[in-house]
Chains A and B, each alone.
Chain A
């Protein structure tokens, strides 16, 4: 079974620039999550999709972050403009409804 695919693995940008991350979940998984993990902390949920609808985006900084899941499969997470405090690993995860989440390798973002 193929796992959750994320790209790019690493990204370095200057503050105020924009960046986008891509996630391809496990086939058949209706639920998709984006998490932000700051060094030394646990993952923090940014947004949760069920198919192509948003279930929870209460912790997404909507003035600069956006996410979409077209056709209920792939998803992109965008940051515009980036701030220094956005430096973190962005993890995508997917699951069947009410089941354990499978995580991708993450994208490490450095904002300089």
Chain B
């Protein structure tokens, strides 16, 4: 059974304090690993797709990396507007997405 775990469950940072979120996964066949951002009362918003170990993607203050067992979302010099829940999901060869429970990030000014 495909599984995704995320840590920490919640993270509180001061503005400018860099950190990383972890996503660990087991999947029968990895088609892709996805990071989404979810704001309260809204649906998840796509951030990145990673397809193979060693791959990295960047967008503004966010950088996602992938190994064979886990992915990291690095947040550099975060701002309060980065506060959200960050969801990790794996897509298997059946093409459906299995999501982790998310990491709730709070960035304090």
Contacts and interface: CB of A to CB of B under 8 A. Distances in A.
Interface residues of B, number: 25
Given A100-B34, A103-B44, A106-B43, A42 B95 contact: no
Interface in A56-106: 56, 91, 93, 97-98, 100-106
A21 interface: no
Nearest to B45: A103
B62 interface: no
A64 B45 CA distance: 29
Contacts of A104: 43
Contacts of A33: 96-97
Contact of B43 (A48, A50, A91, A98): A91
A55 interface: yes
Interface stretch (B53-61, B63-71, B74-82, B98-106): B98-106
Interface residues of A, number: 26
B44 A43 contact: yes
A24 B100 CA distance: 25
Contacts of B44: 43, 91, 103
A105 B43 CA distance: 5
Given A55-B94, A98-B31, A100-B34, A42 B100 contact: yes
